[in-house]
Amino acid sequence: MRTITGLDELEQAKGEELGVSDWHTITQSDIDAFADVTGDHQWIHVDPERAKDTPFGGTIAHGYFTLALGPRFSYDMFSLTGVAFGINYGLGKVRFPAPVPSGSRLRGHFKLLKYEPLDGGAQLTVEVTMEREGADKPVCVAESLARRYV
C-alpha cells in the first residue's frame, strides 16, 4: 500500500498511477443487496434464471454498483495522511464498456490526472479504471473529482 503524506507530496504524484487494488469478487448477494438499497430490481440483475437466456449467460451487476466500488478499491491501495478531511465533489466522464457478470473478480487502477490548488486544500481528478479478471475491456472508466482539505 502506498502512503502519500500531505498535499505537497500528492501534487508531486500528478500524472502517476497511485496504485492497483486487490481483487474483489462480485457475488449475486452483493448485486441483490444493491438492488434492494436502490430499488433497481431490473431482472438482468436479480433473476438468474431469466438472465441465462441473454448474451451474458446470467445476471450482471448494475453499472452504478460497479462505480460505487471505487472508494473500496482506493482504500486497498493508498492512504493520504496529513489532511484534515476530504469530500467527493462529483464525476467527470463515466463509461461502462463491458458487463460485470455475477461471480466476476474486479480490481481498480487509479491515476492522478489533475491537482488544482484551492483555498485550504486541493481538488483532484483521478482516473479510475476497473478491470474484470480475464476480460479484454475495462468494466468501468471514470473521472472522480475529490477535494482534500488541510
Residue 33 CB partners (closer than 8 Å, separation 6+): none
In the chain, what percentage of residues exceed pLDDT 70? 100
Domain range annotation of the chain: 2-149
Closest CA to 44 of 26, 29, 31: 31
Cβ proximity of 140 and 63 under 8 Å: yes
pLDDT digits (tens, 9 = 90+) for 57-104: 999 999 999 999 999 999 888 889 999 999 999 999 999 999 999 999
Could you tell me the end-to-end alpha-carbon distance of the chain, in angstroms, rounded to an integer?
22
What is residue 140's three-state secondary structure? strand
Residue 39 CB partners (closer than 8 Å, separation 6+): none
Question: In DSSP terms, which residues pair with 5 in a beta bridge?
Answer: 81
Assess whether pLDDT exceeds 90 at residue 1.
no
Query: Does the domain at residues 2-149 carry the CATH identifier 3.40.50.150?
Result: no
Q: Write down the number of H helices and E strands in the chain.
A: 6, 8
Assess whether pLDDT exceeds 90 at residue 14.
yes
* Alpha carbon distance 73, 77 (integer Å): 7
* Alpha carbon distance 136, 131 (integer Å): 9
* Alpha carbon distance 139, 97 (integer Å): 5
Question: What is the model's pLDDT at position 85?
Answer: 95
> In 17-136, which ranges are continuous DSSP H helix?
28-38, 43-46, 48-51, 63-68, 70-77
Question: In DSSP terms, which residues pair with 111 in a beta bridge?
Answer: 17, 127
